[in-house]
Structure 1
Amino acid sequence: MKQEEIITAAEQWMQSHFEKEKTGHDWAHVKRVWHLSKHLQSKEGGDLFSIELAALFHDYNDHKLTKDPLQATETIINWMIAEAIPPNTINKIIRIIQAVSFKNGKNPIKAITIEEKIVQDADRLDAIGAIGIARTFTYGGAHHREIANITHPENTTLQHFYDKLLLIQNQLKTTAARELATEKQKIMQDFIQALEKELKI
């Protein structure tokens, strides 16, 4: 099967898999990360085929979305084997996916190759800006988080901006991603300032 056909098959599989996801890690998110990854690759280089598949698969085995991440990873590997993707490419794609996860900033697998940096950056770009704000409140609502709490700010949606989202801009690995993040950062900062003013925090 040609690479273009494999990408199309992966797209259809992920669209079907994530169509009922309601936490902000839905097909629309996966699709945006996929398209952002292609954009970053056009600026930064890297193996486009590995980047596309890793972007499409990056949330399939996420611990927040599946009860058995190891089994989910095995499913991805078996799918790629069935598509006759070479073992070295499969290993490369799996490591890209593993490097994407934030894990509260403690992911032991660091993004080293340009492919790993691109997909990680694409995923993090979709966590900030206007779409990041929308996704954050979608996720918070799905997990019954308060918007804010003056007395106990921990585990609120507002605190999540300070704990993670406002830090992302300085953690991006590629020049192209950092350029895209500038406006997104300002959108978040302006929103938080307005929100805190209205909440009188």
Structure 2
Amino acid sequence: MNFANELRRKSIHAASSVFPIAYWFIDKRTMLLILGPMLIVWLIIEALRHHSPTVGGLVKRYFGGLFRDFEDKALSGAAYVLIANVLTIALFPKEVAIPGLLMLSISDALASLVGMSVGGPRFLGKSWSGSAAFFVSAAAIALTTLPDHPIAGVIAAAVTTVVEALPLRWRHFRIDDNFSIPLSAGLSLIAAMRLFA
């Protein structure tokens, strides 16, 4: 994928920060009632994209440049983002879910764009510059949203940076980083907040 399409893709990805920002002001039940129907509608679109030549052709014509090659036969990143938002909000306390989802929307987008534009040495397929951008932005998010837990925030940012860089798999399935980022952020935040309470 060229940089222009990656920029468009990650701009949409970053725009998903509207969900954790909205969650800051409303309760869990209301947020899930908003996201649940959105997820159902999107999964229907995904099914039609794969099984209806007409819908698939329209999606490819107008948005084809935004899809990675493997998404031609799999769920799109947008579907995983919606699923991750629903799961993270359902599973974690609000104070943990919000920074985890902001790391997903903002830090992941920055890591990709910085990695492509700056480049440099790579480790496990990810550039050091991209990982550095992820860590700095994730730490800033954690410190801003959890000012009373600075140590936990930095630890969670470091853990999530490592997880984002790893090519995680379960059996033959690739674990999408749209799942691994907010879940690892949430778990590491909870653990570190208890450890350094």
Give TM-score scaled by structure 1 length.
Answer: 0.32
More contact order relative to length (CA 8 Å, sep ≥ 6): 2
Point out the structure with the larger strand share.
2
Point out the structure with the larger helix share.
2
Give TM-score scaled by structure 2 length.
Answer: 0.32
